[in-house]
Amino acid sequence: MKFFLLLSAIGFCWAQYAPNTKPGKTSIVHLFEWRWADIALECERYLGPKGFGGVQISPPNENVVINNPSRPWWERYQPISYKLCTRSGNEDEFKDMVTRCNNAGVHIYVDAVINHVCGHGVAAGTGSTCGSYFNPGNRDFPAIPFSAWDFNDGKCRTGSGDIENYNDPYQVRDCRLSGLLDLALEKDYVRSKIAEYLNHLIDLGVAGFRIDASKHMWPGDMKAILDKLHNLNTTWFPEGSKPFIYQEVIDLGGEPIKSSDYFENGRVTEFKYGAKLGTVLRKWHGEKMAYLKSWGEGWGFMPSDRALVFVDNHDNQRGHGAGGASILTFWDPRLYKMGVGFMLAHPYGFTRVMSSFRWPRYFQNGKDINDWVGPPNNNGVIKEVTINEDTTCGNDWVCEHRWRQIRNMVMFRNVVDGQPFTNWWDNGSNQVAFGRGNKGFIVFNNDDWPLSLTLQTGLPAGTYCDVISGDKIGDNCTGIKIYVSGDGKAHFSVSNSAEDPFIAIHAESKLYNLN
């Protein structure tokens, strides 16, 4: 037993599960493809004041410029050097963003693409975002530098050199993911170059990393890289803080590689979460919200303190990656708001909110043929995120994180942080409600008939503003008011045809001058 404890102490001594967000801040937002200059502004003018803990940014390092198709979003997943130089901005702009966001209490989480460099078929002489030369044909990446020795070509045993079968863990780790040149991560030299890149980012003040394509790296190789990382910059983080690590592993069940294989390194993305939540809210396969009573580990998900959860991500909102048709996105706003609302109210996992750009979706035979379309741009230059008078975004930036219902539920999650899951109620169908201790309560009606009843909220007596239909402004509600009586009970009416058929109240949406 003692030996086991010692082993697990050693084995787990590195892993960083804590997100390094400021106390009481419980979510991050993925500002997909935003420019660093816009993120800096957003941290100061919106994310800090509204209680967001951090931002996941798109890969900041130099990548291939793909012109056919024209500048797809996915070119950023084809690195060719670790210079901080992309369509989102250069190193000075990156530094400015990290500094200003940290100063606003909002931390930066970098999408780290370290499993591979660009596709093997990319021609030498193709442009790159910082102008560095590279030649995939002879595996020459002088700006790092990596050369033929640094890739897994000799190790992969498939005919094509690509992953052909996800049931073979050796292929998944040693062969190319979609033709992307696979780095030999067992080599100390390769590990050191990657660690140097990540340490540069840490020293500039980032708080953690999404590790892209983690499934395609051996957990031990990744651990060896993580072991080389610095502690976080003490200008903004307590002495001895380690970067937050969340690994992108798609485990929907049915493959030999499991999320749990990666727990020793940090948290892991729980892809079952969005796939199942979408199925429930769409009422597919006989699913109903009443079953959400046991949501979380009860649904076969990984332990809550290992999970990074989201309703959709940049891949599965457009048919890449995994999750399938059930995934809810901004294209289905009514269900999407309920999905994100449920996620943010429920205690399971560490939550990431998606913030997208709009693209001309065009389905042919069930597949969106415009799934590649890059961010809003003028001749390839990413467009500014403009802010409309009503606080929404312009220039085709969707800014889900600014939708009142989502923004207010981010605050709800902060307010109920640490409170237990309590006072569950359901009608056996798609009307459900639950509380978070004595701090918050939420009611959903996803049935085709109205909801009208009195429920135990667990909250102190008072008048509360529903933060879905409106805001608490000064000492008034712009939306629905809910009256909680001395016994904690309140009456709720949620029409099935309401714009947003759910109601949420919390300790900070209470009106103090009444009661």
321 near ligand AAO, judged by CB under 6 A: yes
Window 249 to 278, contacts with ligand AAO (CB under 6 A): 250, 252, 255
DSSP H helix total and E strand total for the chain: 9, 27
Applying CB under 6 A, does 320 fall inside the site for ligand AAO? yes
Query: DSSP letters along 241-277, please?
Result: PPPEEEE-----SSSS--GGGGTTTBEEE-HHHHHHH
CB of 409 to ligand AAO, least distance (A): 25
Q: Is 312 in the site for ligand AAO (CB under 6 A)?
A: no
From residue 418 to residue 457, the character string flagging contacts with ligand AAO as x (rule: CB under 6 A) and all else as - is ----------------------------------------
CB atoms within 10 A of CB 273: 25
Q: Whose Cβ is closer to ligand AAO: residue 45's or residue 367's?
A: 367
38 binds ligand AAO per the rule CB under 6 A: no
With CB under 6 A as the contact rule, the residue among 95, 103, 166, 395 that binds ligand AAO is: 166
Nearest residue (CB) to ligand AAO, 19 versus 374: 374
The nearer residue to ligand AAO, 24 or 324, going by C-beta atoms, is 324
Please state, in angstroms and rounded to a whole number, the distance separating the CA atoms of residues 96 and 101. 8
Looking only at the bridges linking them, the beta strands covering 476-477 and 377-378 are: unpaired
**Window contacting ligand AAO (CB under 6 A); options: 9-17, 69-77, 415-423, 437-445:** 69-77
Distance, CA of 345 to CA of 413 (rounded, Å): 6
Binding status of residue 322 toward ligand AAO by CB under 6 A:
yes
The DSSP symbol for 355 reads E
Task: Please select the residue that binds ligand AAO; options are 179, 278, 339, 435, rule is CB under 6 A.
Answer: 179
Nearer to ligand AAO, 165 or 234 (CB): 165
Angle (nearest 5°) at CA 60 between 201 and 52: 75
Nearer to ligand AAO, 212 or 500 (CB): 212
Stretch that binds ligand AAO, among 88-96, 97-105, 245-253, 431-439 (CB under 6 A): 245-253
Q: Read off the tokens for 316.
A: 């599965």
Tokens of 403: 């939708």
- Judged by CB under 6 A, does residue 178 bind ligand AAO? yes
Q: Which residues are known to be catalytic?
A: 212, 248
The nearest distance, CB 318 to ligand AAO, in angstroms, is 9
Find the binder of ligand AAO among 119, 266, 278, 347 (CB under 6 A).
119
Residue 170: strand, helix, or coil: helix
Cα separation values, 109 from 136, 244, 341, Å:
29, 8, 23
Taking CA 113 as the corner, what is the angle to CA 110 and CA 119, rounded to the nearest 5 degrees? 150
How would you classify the pairing of strands 476-477 and 367-368? unpaired
**Pair of tokens at residue 177:** 């993911």
15 φ, ψ (degrees, to nearest 5)? -50, 135
Q: Is 112 in the site for ligand AAO (CB under 6 A)?
A: no
If binding is defined by CB under 6 A, does position 32 make contact with ligand AAO?
no
- Asked if 77 is part of the footprint of ligand AAO (rule: CB under 6 A), the reply reads yes
Q: Give the span between the Cα atoms of 101 and 45, in whole angstroms.
A: 10
- Stretch in the footprint of ligand AAO (CB under 6 A) among 209-217, 284-292, 428-436, 476-484: 209-217
Does the footprint of ligand AAO cover residue 127 (CB under 6 A)?
no
Determine contact, residues 246/269, Cβ cutoff 8 Å.
Answer: yes
Does residue 221 contact residue 120 with C-beta atoms inside 8 Å? no
To the nearest whole angstrom, how small is the minimum distance from the Cβ of residue 227 to ligand AAO?
A: 23
220, 256, 324, 394: residue in contact with ligand AAO (rule CB under 6 A) = 324
Beta bridge partners of 128: 64
Tokens for 369, please give them: 């043929």
Binding of ligand AAO at residue 215 (CB under 6 A)?
A: yes
**Residue number with the shortest CB distance to ligand AAO?**
119
Chain residues in the site for ligand AAO (CB under 6 A): 74-75, 77-78, 113, 119, 121, 166, 177-180, 212-213, 215, 248, 250, 252, 255, 315, 320-322, 324
